[in-house]
Structure 1
Amino acid sequence: MTTDNAYDLVILGGGAAAFAAITEASRRGLSTAMVNTGLPIGGTCVNVGCVPSKHLLAVAEHAAAPRENPFDAVQYGHEPTVDWVTALDQSDALVERFRRTNYVDVAEHFEIDIYEGYGEFVDGTTIAVVNGADEGAQITGENALVATGSSPWTPPIDGLDGIEYYTSETILEERNLPESIVIIGGGYIALEWGQILHRVGVEVTILQRSDRLLSGMEEQLGREMERAFETEGIDVLTGNEFRRVRGSVADEGDTMESAVTVETVADGAERTVTGKALFVATGVQPNSEDIGLEPVGIETNDDGTVRVNEHFQTTNPDVYAAGDVIGDPELETVAAKEGNHAVKNAFGNADISIDYDAVPAVVFTSPEVATVGTTEREYMDEHGTCSCRTIQMADVPKAKAVQDTRGLVQVVKHHETDAIVGVHMVGPRAADMIPEATLAVKFGLTVDDIIDTIHPFPTFSEAFKQACQAFRRDVSTMSCCVE
């Protein structure tokens, strides 16, 4: 494609937000084109995010099964081994299938023109392909959508720019894992990859700048995960003030062995943490540079995210933006919803937005972490009081029965109306439990609404109900069947 073309909608990017947008545009009978570069069609989630990481988490979980087995009645004859190359090959094959069926085939079905190359705005809603397979092409739309996603962000630590390190993208290219690895960061990427690597045989140390893991979530969740990781054998050091990172190479006979040293201060004491390799998992940055935003009147915030109003419209009224490029929450499902709403607003004057307070977030570790709505601290800051209850998974009948009692569930309710405004949990199946809590937050259900709803017994989902019951009774003296 090397000619100029006009469409109803032109999109810069090819991930979840873009594909949700083309789906809605097709439903409306709109002509659509997209320009994609960097990651292949499908963006972060399918290529280097959700799909490969969850596949490898499952591989790691099976590898850890003998060590995690709580039942004396079950005996394993030997420890399993993990063929990392085979695991990556199977992950790559899975990604390829997802990319083909969920993205490429979808684009072909909707007859979307895809321009391969680096795109940038050159005038109003006109995007030029400045390099790549379709260099020289220009596409113009009645409206445009910026959906360029995000990339791993590296913090300004002395020495870091002078050594090699892994990110959540580059680790997927490594066929020969190191004996040990130091992970800088304490968010969901650090935790998921830390557990994957530990369970396939790598010695893992996690260094977090904040005083707890998962610092953006309810405080109890990060502390609970720190205990779970330490019990599993993953070293965690929080409250770090990073001073310097150094790399070195030593002659080990027939091979040259590399190593990395992180110099930090934690709890007022100088610490030196070493490993064979470094993994930087400190978040992401929006892909908003060098795509021609400023010349066409699209403003960005101080952190580089594209500035939008509640209807996803940029400061150029004919251009909308969605997905990671507009900032938190950087979730595939949110990006898709934003892309869908952007098209409805641009072409249908729908004036719809998203209630971000009712968006759940999950960390797919073992145990899982899931959260939705207001945290205890946020509620305290707003109201000066908090009506909160926390129950331990150790008191939940299903957890006792399967001998997996790690975790907790906390419910935050409005101190006057009893409406549930936040639910935060660590535990087995937390990812599958959070949708009920999300509905409660979204529709303003009260703790009594949950109590009055019969839950199957025994299930982990009863933990949410039990946390609601804690507002009404002493659950420590409650039998299994009390309503």
Structure 2
Amino acid sequence: MSDDLDKSLDEILEAFRKNVKVSTKKYNLQTYKDVFVGSEAVDYLVSSNVASSREDAVILGKSLANEYGLFEHVTRDHEFSDGKLFYRFLDGQRGKRKMDDGTGERLGWQHFLSPVPQVDSGLQPIFPVADLEGVDGRDEHVGAHVWPLDKYNIETLNHVHPPDWVDPAPKKEGSADFYDMVVIGGGTAGLITSGSSAGLGARVALIEEHFLGGDCLNVGCVPSKSIIHSASLVQKLRRDAEHLAENGITIEGGPSAIKVDFGKVMERVRRIRSVISHHDSAERYSKDLGVEIFIGRAKFLSERSVIVNGRTLEFKRAVICTGGYPSLIPLPGLKELYDLGINPGDQPRPAVMTNETFFNLTTQPKHMVVVGAGVIGLELAQSLQRLGSSVTVFARSGKILPKEDEDMALLVQKQMEDDGVTFRLSVQKYISIELTGNVDEENGLPEMKITITENGSNTDLVCDALLIATGRRPNVTGMDLEKAKVKYDDKTGIIINDKFQTSNSRVFSAGDCCSQYKFTHAADFMARAVIRNALFFGKEKHSALLVPYATFTAPEIASVGLYGSDLDKKGIKYRVFEKHFKDNDRSICDSDTVGLIRYRVDAKSDKILGASIVGTGAGNMIGEVTLAMQSGTGLSQMASVIHPYPTKSEVLRQAGDLFNKTKLTPSSKKLLRGLIKAQR
């Protein structure tokens, strides 16, 4: 237990001793020394406004007794209650947490907050770890570099990194400010942690060096889904133009008549981002939510203090939410061209990019090479191809989306190949990249030559854009974590226990900088758990989070829970039930029959251990499966959930029908036939 927590509980205990009468009591010929009466303790808690009602006082009393062992019933037969029972303070025993070996969760202060849904800790898959050997860590990521400075980017910057921002004034000039919570990093995890904590009455400081909103708003979810939308419209028009004739509709000129203004597409991306950016703005979090915002780099001074912009902030709790950044592969010539792309001076700017700079594009590449066949690389590769570029994807893994079931990933690959994307997935080594000296007259992009080893021999490929999407590193450098006694790993991030706590008991962590789940929605729920654990003695576990995720290619692919490979490694026996969209009426009506849902179910019950969906709308449908797993709804029960007809989501129920059919053994069929005959 931390010193601050000890201090807080000591104050409560001291108030109990001072205001609740402790005396010797007799009951049934027994004498009990130094005890107090439960109802008298409740009287004090209510009259002193520590609790708002007698019911709340009982909840508080149970928490102090059960969670931290501050007192107990004299015979240990009863929990704390508003009655004539006797209780005794446990001097010298605070700090050793009482563990509940039963199945029910004991009531504590954390129940004043909505709990984070949790499931069995065994339902988390293992994700492939990015190969970062030979990749140098960066002390600063390039998210601070934004162009063009049009009205939309300026509006976004004014929201998430206002140039005229003034740090909050100290309460007492010349001395350190004291906060209930200091949050380092203003991405999803940091914003949720700081805003919600301030809303609960805590004094909170949020420190962000670059952009509030983090990757999601600025260089991730928001801009990527915006460009995916535009690319999908183009593809839909082209696809529909080929099939409209059977519906009696003709587009003059056919698919070739569809033209793409890439500059307008990217302008829309910037506009959408600027509209959404107000939600994550410094002004909103400061004025509306009561968070004290500091724009600058945080560095730890000690186990309980940080410094930012020359100001020392002391804290009861700190939460590190610094996220991650994309890594550059060890390719000779890459770092130089990447730096030139950020600061070109009077030279043409080479389009050597990660996702942090991709959305700065204003002109369309003719041929883009994507290094990496994961989520980010595939989403942007397909989008650029559909918008009119020629795209080649390089990878060394031999397949795309290596964690997904191979047959499902192949459905995505086939569609991308139909779109025109070229895959070269057996690269043995990346040799070099260099400028050729040519500059395209139309788009102004310098031409580059990348050399790789493939099938035992070197080969060259000329392109005018290169996107590196091979892995991410956690942002853990430059904070003097050693001074806070916070342990970390350069590749995997902040080291936390199952309750999001670092090696410094006052410091917690959430989001990409500490977890294998590098998703916005996962960071959101990690932050909720951290609030409960850090401020309210919660018991939320990282291992118990059930996190669905989706890749927004066409078709989409989404999963939750364990894959077959995970179950095989764990030695868990399971059965597979799947339903294909080609057998779904709505999919047939929409001429969109690619894909399926696949459930992985416990071999001896209908418990859903994991599920994957590939097809249009997979990202939306996986939520229903997640809810079923979260609530303990088995696949058999899924079959009884009525879905509207005709909808694609009917496959979720129909797979349940397949499970129920397995219950019809020859014996049960014979019994049912007998019952039917008895009705005649």
Q: TM-score, normalised by structure 2?
A: 0.65
* 1:272 to partner: Cα distance: 4.1
State whether residues 260 and 278 of structure 1, in contact with CA within 8 Å, keep that contact through their aligned partners in structure 2: no
CA distance in 1, matches of 2:409, 2:440: 42
Q: Corresponding residue for 1:128? A: 307
Partner of 2:252: 77
Partner residue in 1 for 2:181: 9
Structure 1 Cα separation of the partners of residues 208 and 363 of structure 2: 31
Q: What residue in structure 2 maps to residue 101 of structure 1?
A: 279
- Asked if 1 retains the 8 angstrom alpha-carbon contact of 2:637 and 2:656, the reply is no
Between stretches 75-84 and 465-474, larger displacement belongs to 465-474
Aligned to 1:64: 235
Residue among 342, 363, 375 paired with 2:530: 342
Residue 128 of structure 1 and its aligned partner are, at CA, apart by: 1.3
- In structure 2, the CA distance between the partners of 1:202 and 1:425, relative to structure 1 (3 Å rule), is same
Question: Is the contact between residue 223 and residue 269 of structure 2 (CA under 8 Å) also seen in structure 1?
Answer: yes
**Paired amino acid for 2:312:** Q
What are the superposed Cα offsets for residues 412-457 of structure 1, whole Å, 9 maximum, x if unpaired? 0011122111110110111111111111222332221111212211
Residue in structure 2 matching 1:201, options 388, 413, 416: 388
> Residues 434 and 471 from structure 1, CA distance in 2 versus in 1: closer, same or farther, beyond 3 angstroms?
same
SS at 1:114's partner residue? strand
Shift of 1:162: 3.9
Q: Deviations over 1:82-119 (max 9, x none)?
A: 22222222222222222213443133212211111122
Instruction: Provide the C-alpha distance between the structure 2 equivalents of 1:353 and 1:248, rounded to a whole number of angstroms.
Output: 50
* CA displacement at 1:302 relative to structure 2: 5.4
Q: How does 1:83-232 map to 2 (within 5 A)?
A: 83-104=261-282, 105-129=284-308, 135-164=309-338, 165-232=352-419
Counterpart-to-counterpart distance in 2, 1:421 and 1:335: 23
Contact 1:249-1:256 within 8 A present in 2 as well = no
Q: Deviation digits for residues 30-85 of structure 1, max 9, x if unmatched?
A: 001111112x2111111111111111111111122222224432433353322222
- Letter in structure 2 aligned against 1:83: D
Report how far residue 341 of structure 1 moved: 1.5
Structure 2, unaligned runs of 5 or more:
1-166, 171-175, 339-351, 663-680
Structure 1 residue 329 displacement after superposition: 0.6
Question: Which deviates more, 235-244 or 192-201?
Answer: 235-244
Deviation at 1:271, TM superposition (A): 4.8
Compared with structure 1, are the counterparts of its residues 89 and 157 closer, same or farther at alpha carbon in structure 2 (3 Å cutoff)?
A: same
Matched-pair contact (CA < 8 Å) for 1:357–1:373: no
The residue that corresponds to 2:588 in the other structure is 400
Asked whether the equivalents of residues 439 and 446 of structure 2 are also in contact (C-alpha less than 8 Å), the reply is yes
In 1, distance between residues paired with 2:335 and 2:438? Answer: 24
Residues 68 and 355 of structure 1, relative CA distance in 2, 3 Å threshold: farther
The residue type equivalent to 2:494 in the other structure is V
Aligned-residue offset at 1:465? 2.2
2:496 aligned partner: 308
The answer on whether the counterparts of 2:582 and 2:588 sit within 8 Å (CA) in structure 1 is: yes
What amino acid does structure 1 have at the position aligned with 2:313?
A: I
Larger Rg computed on CA atoms:
2
Q: Quote the Cα distance in structure 2 between the aligned partners of 1:392 and 1:403.
A: 14
Go from structure 1 to structure 2 and tell me whether the alpha carbon gap of 1:357 and 1:210 turns closer, same or farther (over 3 Å shift). Answer: farther
Deviation at 1:173, TM superposition (A): 0.9
Report what 1:132 is aligned to.
Answer: none
Residue 362 of structure 1: how far off its partner (Å): 0.8
> 1:296 aligns to what?
484
- Corresponding residue for 2:194? 22
Aligned equivalent of 1:46: 217
In 2, the alpha carbon distance for the partners of 1:253 and 1:141 equals 55
Query: 1:355/1:103 Cα in 2 relative to 1: closer, same or farther (>3 Å)?
Result: farther
Q: Which stretch shows the higher mean deviation, 118-127 or 150-159?
A: 150-159
From the superposition, tell whether residues 230 and 412 of structure 1 become closer, same or farther in structure 2 (CA, over 3 Å).
same
* Aligned 1:234-313 pairs, distance under 5 A: 234-251=421-438, 257-266=446-455, 271-301=459-489, 303-313=491-501
Aligned to 2:539: 351
Letter paired with 1:21: T
Per-residue deviation, residues 117-139 of structure 1 (Å, max 9, x unmatched)? 1221111232212xxxxx21222
- Distance in 2 (CA, whole Å) between partners of 1:206 and 1:248 is 20
SS in 1 for 2:524: helix
SS, match of residue 169 in structure 1: helix
Question: For 1:469 and 1:191, how far apart are their aligned partners in 2?
Answer: 34
| Alignment check: 8 A CA contact 1:119 1:291 kept | yes
Q: Secondary structure at the match of 1:358?
A: coil
Which residue identity is paired with 1:397?
Answer: D
Alpha carbons 1:300, 1:307 under 8 Å: kept: yes
The answer to whether the 8 A contact 1:260-1:277 is kept is: no
Residues 385 and 421 in structure 2, CA contact (< 8 A), matched pair in contact too? yes
Q: 1:240-269: per-residue Cα shift (whole Å, max 9, x none)?
A: 322313223234697784123241325x66
Match of 2:68 in 1: none
Which structure is higher in RCO with an 8 Å CA cutoff and minimum separation 6? 1
Q: CA deviation at 1:158?
A: 4.3
The CA deviation string for residues 166-220 of structure 1, in whole angstroms up to 9 with x for no partner, is 1111111121221010101111101111111111111011112212211123333
Kindly provide the CA deviation profile for residues 364-403 of structure 1, in whole angstroms up to 9, marking residues without a partner as x: 1221111111111211222264311333322221111100
Structure 1 residue ranges without an equivalent (≥5): 130-134, 475-483
User: 1:9 deviation in Å?
Assistant: 0.7
Q: Does 1:370 align with 2:558?
A: yes
Letter in 1 for 2:508: Y
With over 3 angstroms needed to count, the CA separation of the structure-2 counterparts of 1:123 and 1:256, relative to structure 1, is: closer
CA contact (8 A) 1:121 1:296 kept: yes
- Report the AA paired with residue 260 of structure 2: V
Using the alignment, how far apart are the partners of 1:387 and 1:232 within structure 2?
Answer: 35
Rounded Cα–Cα distance in structure 2 between residues aligned with 1:301 and 1:417: 40
Q: Which has the higher strand share?
A: 1
Residue identity in the other structure for 1:49 = G
Local SS of the residue matching 1:278: strand
State the number of aligned residues: 467
Q: Is the 8 A contact 2:555 2:614 kept in 1?
A: yes
CA RMSD of aligned residues (A): 2.2
Q: CA deviation at 1:316?
A: 0.5
Find the aligned partners of 1:159 and 1:260 in 2 and give their Cα distance.
10
Question: CA 1:304–1:432 in structure 2 vs 1: closer, same or farther (change >3 Å)?
Answer: closer
